[in-house]
Every structure is written in C-alpha cells, then in structure tokens.
Copies of this chain bind each other. A is one copy, B any other.
Amino acid sequence: MSEEKKKVTRRAFLVESSAIVGATAITGGAAADQASQPARATPPRFTSPSGSVIPFGERELMATGTVRSFTGAQLGEIAFPLGGIGTGTVSLGGRGDFRDWEIFNRPNKGKALPFTFVALWARHAGSNETPTVKVVEAPLQPPFRGGDGVPRNRAQGLPRLRGAKFTGAYPFATIDFEDDSLPVTVSLEAFNPFVPLAADDSSLPVAIFRYRLTNRTQAPVEAALAFSILNAVGYDGRTMLDENVFEGFGRNLTRLRREGPAAGLDLTSDKYEADSVRAGSMALVTTHPDISARTAWEGGQWWDSFQKWFDEYAATGTLHDSHAPEPTPDGTSNYATLAPRVTLAPGESRDIRFVLAWYFPLRENYWNKEPEVKGWKLRNDYGNRFKSAWEVAAHTVSQLDRLERDTRAFHESLMASTLPSAALDAVSSQMSIIRTNTCLLLEGRQFFAFEGNNDDSGCCPMNCTHVWNYEQALAHLFPDLERSMRMTDFTVNLLDDGAMAFRTLVPVGRATWKFKPAADGQMGCILKLYREWQLSGDEAFLRQLWPQAKRALEYAWHHWDADRDGVMEGEQHNTYDIEFYGPNTMMGTLYLGALLAGERMARAMGDTAAADSYRQVFESGRVKLDQQLWGKGFYVQHVPDPKTIKVDEVEHRETWYASAVTAAGIKYQYGEGCLSDQLLGQWFAEVVGLGHLLPADHVHETLKSIYTYNFKHDFFDHPNTQRIYALNDEKGLLLCSWPNGNRPALPFVYSDEVWTGIEYQVAAHLIYEGMVAEGLAVTKAVRDRYDGQRRNPWNEVECGNHYARALSSWSLLTALSGYHYSAPLGRLAFAPRLNASDFRCFFTTGSGWGTYRQAIGRPEATASVELTRGTLTLKELGVEGFGGSVSTATVNGRPVTARSQSAGAIQFDPPVALNAGDTLNVRLRRA
C-alpha cells in the first residue's frame, strides 16, 4: 500500500452481479440448512516434530500429487486469468463463464462483455427431435440479486448445463461439465502459453479454449458450439457495459476471415487513429474446418435481437448473416458469433479449439499525478511484435502445437513434483500474478509492476522495492524480465546521494518519484541484484550496476546506520507504510543480508576494500543485533524515546511530533511484539544461499515462536480495527502479536492483519528451518481461505487484487526442494525437506529448466537432472544427504566424468553441458 494514502481507499462497489458468481450447484433450503448447522466435530490436529500444534490432519497436510477441484458453491468466486505477461487477461469463471475482461490495459474486476458466451447445440443426426441449446456453463447460483431480476445480458435466461467440476493448475484450467440430459458430454481446457525463460511465448495476448464434445449415445449426434462475442473495440476497459451501447463504440465492423488453418471473426473498428489508446482489434478464430458465423446480430426493439439469434441457432445449429457486414453507428457496437459444427459417431470425441486474441497496443499512464509522466502513452511489448489481433491469432494458431507442448512440459514438470499439494498449489496459482494487470511488459521488454490492482486501476505504482522484496517467482521463471527491474532500480531510481526512489515513474527517465527511501526495499535490492547475478551468471550485468549498488548499500551509513555498526537505528520507512525507529531485526536482517551479498559481489568485482568493509560491518551487526534484540524466544524492537530522535533523522520535524507521537510514545511501532517479518532478511538470505545471518538457534526458536504466537487457528475472537483478510473459522498468520503483553496503544497500522505474502515468506522460512509441518500448515491456511467459495484461488488480495507480495510463494518450492543455484559457480543443489528418498521437483536456472529427481536407497542412490528447455552447464551437483562414491554418471546414457569428493556434492570436471532434452544421471554407491 502506498503511504501517500493515509486512509485506505475502500472498494465501494462490487462490480459483479452475485447472481452470476453465486454459490453452489443447485442449492436450496436443504443446503442452507446444512450450512446453518455446522458439524461441531473435533477438528483434526497433530503435534509436529518440533512440538507445535498443527490444526490439520497430518496425512492431509503432507499428501502430494492432488490438485484441487471445485464444485458447487466453490465455483462462485473462481476467476482463472487467461493472458500473457503484460497483455492483460480475461478470466474463466468457475462455472465456465468469461468474466473480468481485463484485456484493455487495466483491471476490470467484475465486468463482463455482454452476450459473450458459448452455447452448445445438439441433436441426434437426422432425427426430428427438438435440438437442445444450452449455454456451456454450470447454473447460476444464489443469491439472485437485481431489482429487475437477475441480469440477462450474459444470456442468463438460457438453459445451462447442470453442473461443473473445475480443476485449475495454472496455467491450465479444466472444466468437466455434467448434464445427463444431453447426448454429448462437454469438457473445456483453457490456457495461455507459459514457458519459463521464454518471455515471448509467454506474453501473447490470447486465451485458448479447447472444448471437447463426446457422443455418449449409440447414434450419431450433430452438435455445434456457438461462441458469441461483443466487438468491444473502443471500450474503455472499465465502464459497466449493459449491452452494445457505449460512447467509445462506433464503426465497429466484424468480418469472417480464413487464413491457413484459422477461420473466424476479425473484430475491428476504424473509429480511432493508431495513436489512440482505444485503437485496437480482437479476433476469435477456430481451427475447426466446418463453421457457420454471424458477423452481426440482427437489431430490433426490446429483446428482439437476442430472441432472433436464439431462434435461428436453436432451429438449425447454424448462423448466417442476413446482409453484408457494415460498420456500426457511433455509440454502438454489435455481437458476432462463430459456430463450429461437428457430427459425432457413437462414442466419438472431438475437440473444438478457439483462440481469442486481442490487440490494444497502447496504454496511458493514468496512475501517476506527476506531470512529467501523467497521461503518457506507453506501448505494450506485444504491440511491437504484432500489428493486429488477427495477426496474433494467426501466429498463435500456427504455433499452437509447440506452444501447448512447451507449456504442458513445464506444467507437468511442476505439478508432478513430490511436494505437498498445498505448497504446489501456492506456487502454481500465484505465478498467475505475473500475467495479470499487476504487471506490465512495455516495448523493449521493460517489465514494470504495480503492487496489485484495484478493481479498475493499478494500485501503487510502480516496481515498489519493498513489496517486490518478497517476490521470488519472476526472478526464477523469467530472470531476464526480473533483471529489467534491477536496471530500473539502479539506473533510474538511484539518486545522487545513494537514496533509491522506491517507486518508478513510467516512462522512465523523465522524472524520479519523490519520497523518502524505504529501508527494507533498498536493502532488498542489493539482495535481489545478488540473486540475479547468481541465477544468470551475467558478470557484465553486475559490472554495469555495481557502482550504483555500492552507493545504494552505503547510503545506509549516511542515514539508517549512521554509526556504521551494522545495526540500523534511524527512521526506517518500510513496507508497512510507516517508519520504524530504533533497532529491529526486520530491517536489521535485510541490512545484514545486503552487507553479505555486497561483500560477495564486491569480491567478484575485485573491489576488495568495499568487500572488507562490508564484512566488517556485517560482523559487527550480526552480533550487536542479536545482543540488543533477542527477547523471550524472539527478537523485539527497541523503540527510542521520541525526545531522542534527532531533527535530521525525521522528515518534517516540525509536524512530526503531532502526527507520530502520543503520550505512550512513538506511534505505529511494534516494540515487544512478535513480528512475523522479523527475519525477513534471513529468509531472503536462505533463498539466495547466504546462510544464517543470526545465531542458528535463535533463528530456529524465533520461527517457532512466530508460528506459535501468530498463527491463529480461527478468528472468531480476534478484534481487528484494521483491514480484514481472515475471519470466522479461517486460519492465518497475524503480522504481529504481543504474547508477553505491552501491546502499544496504537501499534503499526497493519499489525492485526493477515497477508498471504508474509505467510508464504514465513512458511518457507519455517521449512528452511526444518519445521515442515508448521510451514505447510501456514500455507494450507492461506489456500483454504482461497477456496473458491470464500475467495478466488487465483487472486490473493492485500492492498489490491493479484497482489505481488504473494509471489513469495515461489520460495516454498526452493525451501521444500532445498534448491540453490549459482551460475558463477556452475553449481545446482537440492536438499529435499520431505520425501527425500523418492523425490522429484521442477527447477529453473537462468539458462534452462527441467526436472530434478533423486532416489535414496541402499546400497545405491540416484540423482538426475532432466533439462527440458535451454542449456545448463554444471560443475557441481549438490545432493544433501547423499554419501557415497559415484558409480556411474551419464548424459543421455553416455558416460561423463564425475566424482564425489565430499558428501553431498558431485563434481564434474570437465563441466557437463546440458542441452534441452538432455538428462544427467548419477548413481552413487552409499557407504
């Protein structure tokens, strides 16, 4: 959240009729009664090896391999985003509906394109039976709101299929529809290409739908799927559209086109010049050969238009234009329908694929008020790669098999990991953030990001250093995009004095954002730079940024750690949008981590003097921080007497007292509280392989305390005047608690809240510290809150939707697998925390990705690295817990030289160079 807004902007309106996103399959009084009398059975629980109470069944918590499915009421909140990086998305609703049309360069929660839906037509071939027409969605669910009845502009009045089971494993969503009354069964798989390291393939403005129709009868069946869509060119991306009337519409023209294997609708308008943000196009194509289409629905009064559409389709299963397409009058658009048709032999299945593409290449900076950037038009990266939505669609169709194969390879590698289901779900689902409107990909592959999304605007622009501190997914999946953020941090936002603007004004280079720097964000950027170097091995990149990184790190000595003792005492603005005063381990560990990373980078750069001084300050700080702040099982904050705060240490000294100080002391501190983020820098250090910054036993005990004190098993009796992310019977991790009392009258402003990004951070850290059950419990608590009925599993919220902090969930993968990678060292290592004897996981490096497997038996253990894409040069494979000597080492069956000098490490000399498709296999004889 931005500190500019000291009052939280509340989402005033919910923008989706609940009638559409309602609850269960057919619920009525019976279901309601069930719900009103919750079973009061004793909830499952067990005690972890560390002695913690875990409020889940152990088997359930540790189970691997299951992917969540959703039915009934759980379908209500599901909105599975389909789109590429920086392209925006349209979401597939749990019922099969299309919702949240966010393809127009801004968020658009709860708003749908009118009369954009898919309707099945079916009857037995050659029969006289009345054809069935049903919208390919599960039924609407209560509540059925609306002063004029349930809204009708998504064809809500037409029959629907009787039920659906939604299974989502990002980037694939699958819906198995149920309807016994039809001669065909229907299923749907939807996705957008997502291939790690392949940003181009992963940033296509398309949504791909594959409907599968299966004849369940003994006789041939004729069937059709009519995909209707509003030609929405000219839409502003945020107004609630009732029908096809909107000021931005006009001269909308839809044509039927064929090009190679693609046939379908080219939806255009020539109302706008190319330099308008409204200019663009849409396309809906199918690879199916037998189609009919209507490029414009007929007009009429009242509901004539829809009725005539229905009558034509219902009668024949086909649609045809009554006259040649014409541009629409100003202020209106029209609907079009593409209707592939099949005849299915008894038992036959056929797939009908649709590619929905969009092309809105320009966006406007609506989010900044700074005159240097306000209103500037920004070009999406895809806008330089393509010229129209039709071109995007044709490209996608031409590459579809490859794109799907690569995406599926990644998906299968990830989802086949032997990680517990909740963790895998957290990793997988939250990757989607990268592809929502939280993130931008501008021309030249410049990656920018908000913190999250309000319902129709980005929230808290841009590249916020402290929120993006928690993110680990982009860094590992698309490290080149992540590096573009570092370029921005260090070449755009670093001021002469070494302070880093912690937000970015886009387009860059025109102005710098004006505010005090964030202590956590700035130190985090040093750690991130270290990570990017380790992942990429790109020494030139490091060399380019090193001088700035040095200034950024040393800025601490002019401000936060003026006495250069390795402990920050000054005014530390941070991710809670307030300032901490005095020593605390949240900023303290980030600072120690930055010093240590700084030392390593300095040495690599040959800057020994800097390296030595960082080491010296680090050594001082690690001791002092522990000595000063270690309390009763965790670290506390030393809040200074406000009178001791020096004038030059705070902004606006003259007004500071009035706003920041009460009789009880400085407001918005945590003091003796147990802060969930208190070892944030330590967590980052684990992720990037820097090891313990503070005494190991204290780190371990602190994590256990955080779990014990901050992880609530329910929220029934939790009074919270702040924002609300968990309630009732939900479980969640508080940002802070005061188990030893002395809660400040007005503690820091988010202290009583629950943030998923911090929960994943702590969960991963618990796992790094061996408290796997605790970490998984925290993880499962989050995912249970996002259960489809309560909240959308693909949209974790904090200050906005698709909030970037949740990208910390990637660290669950690194923690559970014990993954570390250093390109400079040519070292890839794993240390599974669970299922180590028969383990499998997905991994990435800066140059390639694939699957790691290990099996530990007697007398032999094996480890294999299967590289699916890219290249990978290994000098060492770290395998924790493996004793023994190498018996064989092969790549694709051909021997390579390997030895095991010490337990847990296999060296390759010469290095092994793997290419896509190669598998490195090592067998060890165990001692």
Identify the A interface with B (CB < 8 A): 6-18, 21, 23-39, 71-74, 76-77, 109, 133, 139-140, 142-153, 156-159, 162-163, 181, 240, 242-243, 300-304, 306-308, 310-311, 314, 452-455, 459, 659, 667-668, 716-725, 727-729, 745-746, 749, 752-753, 784-785, 787-791, 797-801
Whether the pair B10, A23 counts as a contact (CB closer than 8 A) is: no
Q: Is the CB of A39 within 8 A of B30?
A: yes
Q: Which 8 A-B pairs have the closest CB atoms?
A: A36-B72, A24-B35, A157-B720, A36-B71, A12-B240, A32-B73, A31-B35, A150-B724
Instruction: List B contacts of A790 (CB < 8 A).
Output: 142-144
CB distance from A91 to the nearest CB of B (A): 14
Given the known interface contacts A719-B310, A728-B140, the answer about A30 and B38 at a Cβ–Cβ threshold of 8 Å is yes
A302–B749 CB distance below 8 A:
yes
Cβ–Cβ < 8 Å partners of A799 in chain B: 148
A38→B31 contact, CB < 8 A: yes
- A-B contact sample (5 more), CB < 8 A, given A26-B729, A32-B72, A32-B73: A11-B151, A32-B74, A36-B73, A144-B791, A157-B723
Q: Judging by beta carbons under 8 Å apart, are B797 and A717 in contact?
A: no
26 contacts between A and B (CB under 8 A): A10-B151, A10-B153, A12-B240, A13-B15, A14-B146, A23-B789, A24-B32, A27-B38, A27-B73, A29-B789, A30-B38, A31-B34, A32-B72, A32-B788, A33-B72, A36-B71, A139-B727, A142-B790, A147-B454, A147-B459, A148-B723, A152-B720, A181-B717, A302-B668, A307-B746, A308-B746
Partner of A147, one of B32, B453, B716: B453
Closest to A25 in B: B36
A72 touches B35 (CB 8 A): yes
- Docked-complex contact B29 and A723, CB < 8 angstroms: no
B residues less than 8 Å from A752 (CB atoms): 157
Shortest C-beta distance, A670 to chain B (Å), equals 15
A288 CB to closest chain B CB, in angstroms?
25
Contact status A659-B301, CB under 8 Å: yes
Contacts of A9 in B (CB 8 A): 148, 242
Contacts of A452 in B (CB 8 A): 147
Residues on the B chain within 8 Å of A163, using CB: 36
A133 cross-chain contacts in B, Cβ below 8 A? 719
A interface, by DSSP: helix, strand, loop or mixed? loop
Could you tell me the distance between the alpha carbons of A699 and B304 in the complex, rounded to whole angstroms? 33
**In the bound complex, CA of A800 to CA of B74 (Å):** 30
Q: Contact partner of A152 among B308, B453, B718, B722, CB < 8 A? A: B722
Cβ-defined contact, B26 with A728, below 8 A: yes
Q: Closest Cβ of chain B: how far from A124's Cβ, in Å?
A: 17
For the complex formed, measure the closest distance between the CB of A735 and the CB atoms of chain B, giving whole angstroms: 13
Q: Which of B37, B109, B716 contacts A162 (CB 8 A)?
A: B716
Q: Which residues of the partner chain B approach A26 to less than 8 Å between Cβ atoms? A: 38, 728-729
**Quick check: A724 and B30 within 8 Å, CB to CB?**
no
Closest chain-B Cβ to A463's Cβ sits at a distance in Å of 20
Q: How far is the CB of A247 from chain B (nearest CB, A)?
A: 15
Contacts of A76 in B (CB 8 A): 143
What residues on B are CB-neighbors of A148 within 8 Å? Answer: 8-11, 723, 797-800
Q: Choose among B35, B150, B243, B798 the residue that contacts A23 (Cβ–Cβ < 8 A).
A: B35
**Which of A18, A23, A787 gathers most chain B CB within 10 Å?**
A23
Give A716 to B25 CA distance when docked, in angstroms.
12
- Shortest CB distance A903–B (Å): 44
Question: What chain B residues lie within 8 Å of A308 (beta carbons)?
Answer: 746
A152 pairs with B72, CB closer than 8 A: no
Contacts A35-B72, A73-B32, A159-B716 given; does A303 touch B749 at CB 8 Å: yes
> In the complex, what's the smallest C-beta–C-beta distance from A802 to chain B, in angstroms?
9
CA–CA, A523 and B300, complex, Å: 31
Q: In chain B, what residue has the closest Cβ to A305?
A: B721
Alpha-carbon gap, A729 to B729, bound state (A): 31
Q: Are A149 and B723 in contact (CB under 8 A)?
A: yes
| Bound Cα distance A571, B724 (Å) | 59
A345 vs chain B, min Cβ distance (A): 26
- The interface residues of chain B lying within 8 Å CB-to-CB of A8 are 148, 152
